[in-house]
Structure 1
Amino acid sequence: MATKAFFYNLLILSLFIGGNCDVIFSIENKCTYSIWLGASPSNGDAIVEHGPDTLEVLTMSDPWTGIMFARTACSSNASFYFSCETGDCRTGQIDCQGPTPNFPVTLLNFGINQGQVSYEVNLNHGFNIPVRFQPDGGSLVVGGSGACPVVDCIQDLKNVCPSPLVATNKNGVYVACNSACDALKDPKFCCTGEFTGPACKPNEYSQRFKDLCKLAHTFPGDNDPPVYKCSGANRYYLTFCPS
């Protein structure tokens, strides 16, 4: 008997408009706590709670371009207003398919078109949860050649989050780490104004994140690794809190 109970829920929620509708995401929560998925714009993702050691299989809409993220420490109050300590969508509803979440949050950026998937882990708006995205098979069509690589940020940045970037809950307890741009509002961290183009460079905060999460993008001008595009994968594994 398996030591972990996995709950499988196949959701066929594709648009069937202008695409192949054959991109499969297997989404596993290996955290010790529950998460709630969110997406912007809606992509047919489930809106129910994902408890520890659960797996969900999604057939993704094709075409679709957007972000996915995890919300944590969510609950409803006495008035049934639903909110989360990280990734909250500010609607009061469990359904979070459209609004941009409250930052900081670990972002997964995707582009799906005719069965090809572009993907990246992005910390430009901070970090709230470790993630890994791993294609099963397939070959690169953008970003290099050969097999489609893994991207991730599996380290918990809590221990290296500088005090000016720390995000806390109502009790003053750490819950996530902001990006320097969102926390400090300085153009040099946001790569805006005179800091666009070649003047957009790593900073002391983004470099600290990069040291732990080399496969994630940590500031607006970060192109290492490139945004990969994969074709022909059997499916894609998205894991929260990978071991």
Structure 2
Amino acid sequence: MELVNNITNWVVDTRATRHICSSKEFFLNYEEVTDEENVYLGDSSIARVAGKGKLQVKGSDGSVIACKSACTAFNQPQYCCTGANNTPQTCPPTDYSRIFENQCPQAYSYAYDDQNSTFTCSGAPNYFHVQNGDDDFGYIHFHVTSDQKPQLSTTGFELASTASSAIDVQAPWKGRFWARTLCSTDSSGRFSCATAECSSGQVSCNGNGAVPPASLVEINIAADGGMDFYDVSLVDGFNLPVSVATQGGTGECKASSCPANVNAACPAELQVKGSDGTVIACKSACTAFNEPQYCCTGAYDKPETCPPTNYSQIFEQQCPQAYSYAYDDQNSTFTCSGAPNYVITFCP
């Protein structure tokens, strides 16, 4: 429609019966109106309708830079699915919505275009994202726990300082992540590490667990987007700082971290030393002494009979969010639902 006073700018008058513009050049197509027709403006004045057409949004150079929906362009219930047209039965597709539908069949073309346009995803998280924060510690390795859910695509690889790697996983899945340090290959080609060794003789652990001490990230992923459980565990001792955090998901989904260097606070009787005499890992009391009161076995196999010990409290004080002994559940188990991704960082 062309304004009778021929102003040069677009006009949007929310009290008008139609949206109006100053030039027919703004229309995709245009037809003159021969019958007398007027529009009523917000100030009660009347403008004659010179023509009608389909609307485009053009830039200053005349090129089309966007395409409005019919709801935005005309603000009518039949296009906006409002008022008497607020149900799928009373708001079918229109000629305008079909233009969008023809161009992009998978996209919503109007409010009730649900049949081909809504998509769902459930089950596994997209990936584990494993990263080395800032320490050139060597190798990261994975272990699938005793229920033998499907193995990941890799069970070990070298991760340089500040590097990262993503691994896909299929739910349900349950397993552990840890890092091996001070690794080398001997003259026979056998690969081994000074801490968290898995005795496979290779970079890949191939399902073998870590020889303690080892800082662990434990993750139990539920099927169909259910509730996952995850934690940082020092029950098998400590060799490196580590954290686990979620991306996406619903619920609490809090990060769990052991950022401290527990080796610096490790008592002499728990220390593991390297060839140069430095402390490279810290044993748990269970590993060091193999006594029921430290391992929560035998008569000590319940939370009531296996309280924290002086040794477990050293780990607890250094890393309050991590498991310090077998029954340290209160502050150490974390949950997240809705199939999140997991970011595991060594030396955070």
Contact 1:104 1:179 survives alignment (8 Å): yes
The 1-side partners of 2:243 and 2:194 are apart by 22
Aligned CA distance change for structure 1 residues 36 and 187 (closer, same or farther; 3 Å): same
Alignment correspondent of 1:187 = 292
The 1-side partners of 2:313 and 2:166 are apart by 35
Q: Where do 1:1-243 residues align within 5 Å?
A: 20-41=123-144, 42-45=151-154, 47-114=156-223, 115-116=225-226, 117-140=228-251, 147-197=252-302, 198-232=304-338, 234-242=340-348
Contact 2:253 2:336 survives alignment (8 Å): yes
Code of the aligned partner of 2:255: V
Residue 113 of structure 1 and its aligned partner are, at CA, apart by 2.2
Residue 163 of structure 1 and its aligned partner are, at CA, apart by 0.6
The 2-side partners of 1:24 and 1:107 are apart by 18
Per-residue deviation, residues 180-200 of structure 1 (Å, max 9, x unmatched): 001011111111112121111
Q: Structure 1 regions of 5+ residues with no counterpart?
A: 1-18, 141-146
Code of the aligned partner of 2:135: T
**Residue 159 of structure 1 aligns to a residue in which SS?**
helix
The 2-side partners of 1:46 and 1:196 are apart by 32
Contact 1:33 1:52 survives alignment (8 Å): yes
Per-residue deviation, residues 158-183 of structure 1 (Å, max 9, x unmatched): 11101110012345432100000010
The 2-side partners of 1:99 and 1:237 are apart by 23
Residue 30 of structure 1 and its aligned partner are, at CA, apart by 1.2
Contact 1:65 1:111 survives alignment (8 Å): yes
Residue 209 of structure 1 and its aligned partner are, at CA, apart by 1.1
Q: State which drifts further: 35-44 or 175-184.
A: 35-44
Task: Give the greater-gyration-radius structure (CA).
Answer: 2
Per-residue deviation, residues 75-130 of structure 1 (Å, max 9, x unmatched): 11111110011111112111113111111000111111224431011111000010
Contact 2:247 2:343 survives alignment (8 Å): yes
Q: State which drifts further: 125-134 or 41-50.
A: 41-50
**How high is the TM-score relative to the length of structure 2?**
0.59
The 2-side partners of 1:121 and 1:58 are apart by 19
The 1-side partners of 2:220 and 2:288 are apart by 28
More strand by share: 1
Residue 234 of structure 1 and its aligned partner are, at CA, apart by 4.6
Contact 1:152 1:215 survives alignment (8 Å): yes
**Residue 168 of structure 2 aligns to a residue in which SS?**
strand
**How many correspondences in the alignment?**
218
Code of the aligned partner of 1:49: E
The 2-side partners of 1:149 and 1:189 are apart by 29
**Residue 210 of structure 2 aligns to a residue in which SS?**
coil
Code of the aligned partner of 2:291: D
**How high is the TM-score relative to the length of structure 1?**
0.84
The 1-side partners of 2:332 and 2:233 are apart by 11
